[in-house]
Amino acid sequence: MRAAVIGYGYWGPKLARNIAACEGCEVEVVAEVNPARLDRARRDGYARLCTSDAEAAIDDPRVDAVVVAVPVTRHFEIARAALAAGKHVLVEKPMARSVAEAESLIALATARRRVLMVDHTFAYSGAVELIRRLIDEGKLGALTHFDSTRMNLGIVQEDVSVLWDLAAHDLSILAFLHDEHPLRVHATGGCGPPGQPHVGHLTLEYDSGFHAHVGVSWISPVKLRPTLIGGKRRSILYDDLHPSEKVRVYDIGPEIRSDDDRSRRAFELRASDVWVPLVSQHEPLAHVVGDFVSACSQGTLPRASMSSGLWVVRVLAAADESLARGGSPVTIEW
């Protein structure tokens, strides 16, 4: 399978490297309008051809798939052109800038019978795969809450808010780990232009009582990525930045007991051992590319499917509405 990589800024070179290294796939062309970045693409040597003409790259008959690594505001434009040209598409997160755009891309991909996949990289990490396996095995019991923090100093994006940039990662993890759709979202943010906060917080409400909270920042003096996944039996602390203990399983949870006359109930906290399981150290992006190639060549459903991409966009769009209402809850339309 021959791919065109459109965009060679921060993420494009990483995608090109992993495509070139993936068995059964190669980079046919890289398209980039910035001359310095285009020179870098030529030096890197992953592609047979480097050009500033994205349209020609998409229309190239030798290209089977298009990988979209441009700013979010251009995702829809490039992905739509590629699908219309009969190409499979892998697009960076988030899939599009609005629900209407995402739904339009899905309709086109379905009509053309082409793969439309989103690069939800963290859903392919060894740590998150392990956590999903532990959930499926019942090790945590029924899930009760999800609490994540993703903070660092920069990179401040000009075209999207910190919610669309950073919270999209945590929402893709949440969508992979927990199958239930949230009912409502509350969003707050600030420290940036109106509608473009540099710090933001999301709270998601679920019908089952499950609760999710995501905090993100571009302007934190320290880099933080802890995520707590709570269950009735056990809880997990996932820290992507930890060099060796990315996943810690805590045998801890609430228990209800009655007092002697059984007229009242009280909560007790059960605490026991901490377990640090072995986590695969594979490069997540390599698995993203491998899943994309399999979906295109074998017709399998990718983990980060277009439905997963739409899930994230729906939540982010509702969060924008909540933000505009000063944090009032907004019902998410599914």
Q: Which tens digits make up the pLDDT trace of 224-245?
A: 999 999 999 999 999 999 999 9
Task: Give the model's pLDDT for residue 253.
Answer: 67
What are the tens digits of pLDDT across the range 241-266?
999 999 999 997 666 666 655 556 66
pLDDT band at 328 (very low <50, low <70, confident <90, very high): very high
- Cβ–Cβ under 8 Å, residues 119 and 68: no
Identify the structural domains of the chain with CATH numbers, from first to last: 2-114 (3.40.50.720), 123-283+314-331 (3.30.360.10)
How far apart are the C-alpha atoms of 88 and 86, rounded to whole Å? 7
DSSP-derived pairing of the beta strands 219-224 and 143-153 = antiparallel
What the block records as the tokens of 31 is 């398209």
Q: Are 169 and 151 in contact (CB under 8 A)?
A: no
Residue percentage of the chain with pLDDT more than 70: 94
- Mean of the per-residue pLDDT values of the chain: 94
Residue-wise burial string across 277-316, b where 16 or more C-beta atoms lie within 10 A, e elsewhere: bebeeebbbbbbbbbbbebbeeeeebbbbbebbbbbbbbb
Bond from prior residue into 229 cis (ω within 30 degrees of 0): no
Model confidence at 14, in pLDDT bands (50, 70, 90)? Answer: very high
Per-residue pLDDT tens for 195-235?
Answer: 789 999 999 999 999 999 999 999 999 999 999 999 999 99
Beta strands in the chain (DSSP E): 2-6, 26-31, 47-51, 65-68, 88-92, 116-119, 143-153, 184-190, 199-205, 211-217, 219-224, 226-231, 235-239, 247-258, 265-275, 330-331
* Cα distance between residue 93 and residue 104, in whole Å: 16
In terms of DSSP H, where are the helices of 113-246? 126-136, 162, 168-177
SS (H, E, C) 271-322: EEEEECCCCCCCCHHHHHHHHHHHHHHHCCCCCCEHHHHHHHHHHHHHHHHH
Are 15 and 117 a contacting pair, CB within 8 Å?
Answer: no
Q: Residue 187 pLDDT > 90, yes or no?
A: yes
- CB atoms near residue 111 (< 10 Å): 10
**What does the block give as tokens for 200?**
């933001």
For residue 116, what is the DSSP state? E
pLDDT of residue 194: 75
pLDDT tens string 66-118: 999 999 999 999 999 999 999 999 999 999 999 999 999 999 999 999 999 99
Task: Check residue 101 and give its pLDDT.
Answer: 98
